[in-house]
Structure 1
């Protein structure tokens, strides 16, 4: 190839590069735009009824915020009639009831404890109807029981856990639960150092199911349910990572029926707080 032919070939390559390069960049821009479009379509609008404030796993129930009828778990079962739910622990009596989902989480927790050679669990109490709670309140008085509707036991999400060995504050079962219950969605509802917040005396046996990732956040920050809901109300939205997955938790005040944004390509759960808002938890 002569000198001029060589120069012509080089010039042709340069021109071709200049022509091709914008196409490549344009393709990248289209790709980014496509991602942005997907991001824009990530959420959809849904209508939330005011009644949702009184339903879900994060309901605050105490002397100020009673259980509404729609807040009672719809999957409450008598444990003694479901053998697969009673495996590795004992029941105080055959009448004990509990949300089936909560019972399954408790079962997973018990099996994990058995793996650590902690295996003397007992359920002393679970779900109570309003009528049963009222009867208990009349029998035991306000120092040892709450009026009907003001007890977490009326939800079906709480249970009193015992040990066949010792009192819970001394038993291996009690110590194991304090360290590990959060991994299975449970929290010690009335800690010894938070009586001024819960206004309930220390109960080392009373555990409440709130689900993950909420139990993990509460454990990490040493929040009671009161403190956790106040925190969510303050920050309105937070992101947390658990076992490699990213969760988004959003709080919405609800005074009337409202429309909110939820993801259309990820699992989410809505729970009321039994006060004035709802919490949307988006899963990985």
Structure 2
């Protein structure tokens, strides 16, 4: 009996060790700078940069200084109340909640993961807003809690205000889970507690913004606000990020110094503007 008890203890200990290693791997992010090869080969091609590309994509910086452009608004914005397949596992505050379908799918995936961990009292209180709706909110709440029409991420379709049906997000398990885990699904907490001096907006534990992977992982790892991340990309220009074993390359192109960008022919990539002066190419290796 003692022998079997000892073996059982060893097995349990190994299981805990493996579980700990799995958790470590699951949250692992590695970021490195690389020197690019500017030569074209049979696996790459050049794509002309059009000016409107600077104002399109998931990495647009929108704040008091950089406004939303007409072409910046996501083209796949839908009424979530009319797409109930996108809202399983959480509630809508009312029947007029709009959001990018791409973002809604990522949010649903995140809510499923939270539910698996026993955190399941989420709601969406606000999503995409048109300029008129944003202007009314700005007049009601003031500049420390809202941005004027045309300068709010809610005008893009990429941001949403998440609530708990039980209590305030600053106190709710849902808020704590979001702050710890949202990055794994492409979201960032847009207005963190320690970044008010950079964002100009008070801490909002309910406001999340979709930027996609690996950008959310890098922002989390570096403890950046989005403003800081955009500056970081402009400085680094070329980096690789490995997130849970998946490798990405991220390359920044300044529009004044580049008329064309090199993209891969045989792998998945995305192009996003920064809403200022350049575009970012993200490739999944």
Give the alignment's TM-score, normalised by structure 2.
0.84
- Structure 1: state its 5+ residue gaps: 1-38
4+ long deviations beyond 3 Å: none
Kept in 2, the 8 Å contact 1:50–1:256? The answer is: no
CA shift, 1:258, in A, is 1.5
**Structure 2 CA distance for aligned equivalents of residues 256 and 127 of structure 1:** 34
Kept in 2, the 8 Å contact 1:92–1:125? The answer is: yes
CA shift, 1:142, in A, is 2.7
Kept in 2, the 8 Å contact 1:47–1:257? The answer is: no
Q: Which residue of 1 aligns with 2:218?
A: 217
**Structure 2 CA distance for aligned equivalents of residues 174 and 140 of structure 1:** 22
Q: Deviations over 1:238-263 (max 9, x none)?
A: 01112222111000011388211111
Q: Deviations over 1:78-111 (max 9, x none)?
A: 0000010110101111101000010011001001
RMSD after superposition: 1.5
- Structure with greater helix share of residues: 1
Q: Which residue of 1 aligns with 2:177?
A: 176
Kept in 2, the 8 Å contact 1:79–1:85? The answer is: yes
**Structure 2 CA distance for aligned equivalents of residues 106 and 72 of structure 1:** 19
Kept in 2, the 8 Å contact 1:120–1:173? The answer is: yes
**Structure 1 CA distance for aligned equivalents of residues 136 and 257 of structure 2:** 35
Q: How many residue pairs end up in the alignment?
A: 247
**Structure 1 CA distance for aligned equivalents of residues 105 and 128 of structure 2:** 15
The structure with the largest alpha-carbon Rg is 1
CA shift, 1:154, in A, is 0.2
Q: Which residue of 1 aligns with 2:228?
A: 227
Q: Kindly indicate whether structure 1 or structure 2 has the higher relative contact order, using CA contacts under 8 Å at least 6 residues apart.
A: 2
**Structure 1 CA distance for aligned equivalents of residues 195 and 219 of structure 2:** 13
* Greater shift in the superposed pair: 100-109 or 129-138: 129-138
Kept in 2, the 8 Å contact 1:50–1:255? The answer is: no
Partner SS state of residue 40, structure 1:
coil
1:128-207 matched pairs, under 5 angstroms: 128-207=129-208
Kept in 1, the 8 Å contact 2:185–2:213? The answer is: yes
Q: Deviations over 1:202-232 (max 9, x none)?
A: 0010000000011011111111111111001
Give the alignment's TM-score, normalised by structure 1.
0.84
Partner SS state of residue 275, structure 2:
coil
Q: Which residue of 2 aligns with 1:92?
A: 93
- Structure 2: state its 5+ residue gaps: 1-39
Task: Find out whether 1:104 has 2:108 as its counterpart.
Answer: no
CA shift, 1:135, in A, is 2.3
